[in-house]
Amino acid sequence: MSLASFQDLLDAARQQPEPQRLLLVFAKVELPQNATAEQRERFERREGGTLSPCLCVDKTPEEIASFEALAEESKATGQDWDLLFVGGLAGRAGIAPSADEAAQPLRFMVNAINDGRVAQFATFDRRGEVVQFG
């Protein structure tokens, strides 16, 4: 499925046959430690860097009014972020997964991002625009 916006993601999650819980990981893009001159140049062009998850939360699609509301809510944490990674967790028998059930998949998601395995997640920048990794 191709996403053109965060709203597309919310709409798709709300239309699934089973209720969903969205796994949200906010991450900073940072210059790697001991960066080479080439890495520094790529970082300055916003083409490289290290992903560092800094904030995680799980929510049902109904708990998110819009990307703007989610970004505003994130400000209350005091954590600055550059990218938002989103994964989904499907419920069973008409019941959405609980926050407890989302804890381990959320940890796995953070580990995947730390390892650079991000292709399976929907990704958005601070403006809510879709980010594609090439």
Cα 62 to Cα 31, 38, 96, 130: the distances in Å are 36, 44, 11, 20
* Domain positions in the chain: 6-125
Per-residue pLDDT tens for 58-105?
999 999 999 999 999 999 999 999 999 999 999 999 999 999 999 999
Task: Give which of 83, 64, 65, 89 is closest to 25, Cα–Cα.
Answer: 83
The predicted model scores a pTM of 0.91
